[in-house]
Amino acid sequence: MTDIVALEALVRRIKPGASLAIPVNCVAMAATAALIEGDVSGLRLVCVPTSGLQADFLIGAGRVSAIETSAVSLGEAGGAPRFAAGVRAGAFTLHDSTCPAILAGLLAAQKGVPFMPIAGIIGSDLLRVRSDWKVIDSPTGEPGKVVVVPAIAPDVALFHAPEADRAGNVRIGRHRELAGIAYAAKRTFVTVERIVARNLLETEDSAAGVLPSLYVEAVAVAERGAWPLPLWDEYDGDAAEVKRYAAMARTEDGFHTYLSAYFARRKQVA
């Protein structure tokens, strides 16, 4: 049965050193702030398949020991400054990847198999730095080479969604990648804008866009929990705020100055 808990109680379930899957959309920024305030460290991020502000926050706050991603970017606001600084300083282990490779690894975990074959990486320089990716002869079909990537089974999946019902069923709409993360992860925690009284699985129309509570360990309400990032059908992103972050976080001192004020502003927005 899914637990409905306070935000602080939800993030306390994420332990130091956990591998944490975070999506590029439906980002749990309120939970990220609570993680930083709670001093959870040594996180091994799995970005699905990229990340931006969330990863940069956690890296800048010194909470990350490793990251697997195909990119970390602030989009129109430019590069992710603390990620870039961390790469230059060797502050964490970087597992450079591609979008298809990350999604294939998650799919392998969903299916309970140790690896998943993909073809698009053949010839890539990434094969030189990813010793865990193996090139093999295809065992079936036309002769040729394929790359097998190991299963990615995160300890925790964390994302934000518009709503959940009292049973813990979560509305994810067309963002099926969120279901994929939940299927692959050992535990899934979700923050939502609200808890609704109606059963989200009650009709065919609503159930088609719902992640069943079977895959969700805990839900917490966090109003405007993706801010300053957008949440579909709820609110737009705050582009000015992200741009301000990008400018301030170019230096470590600027990042910490921004972060010290962010917590208070987040509470005001919520």
pLDDT tens sequence across 208-244: 999 999 999 999 999 999 999 999 999 999 999 999 9
Rg, C-alpha atoms of the chain: 19
pLDDT at res. 47: 98
Mean pLDDT along residues 140-163: 96
Q: Is the pLDDT of residue 145 over 80?
A: yes
Give me 71's structure tokens: 């990119």
Mean pLDDT along residues 63-87: 98
CA distances from 6 to 36, 42, 213 (A): 16, 23, 17
Residue identified by tokens 């709409």 is 173
Q: Where are the domains of the chain?
A: 3-97+153-269, 115-150
Domain covering 3-97+153-269, topology: Glutaconate Coenzyme A-transferase (3.40.1080)
Q: How confident is the model at residue 126 (pLDDT cuts 50, 70, 90)?
A: very high
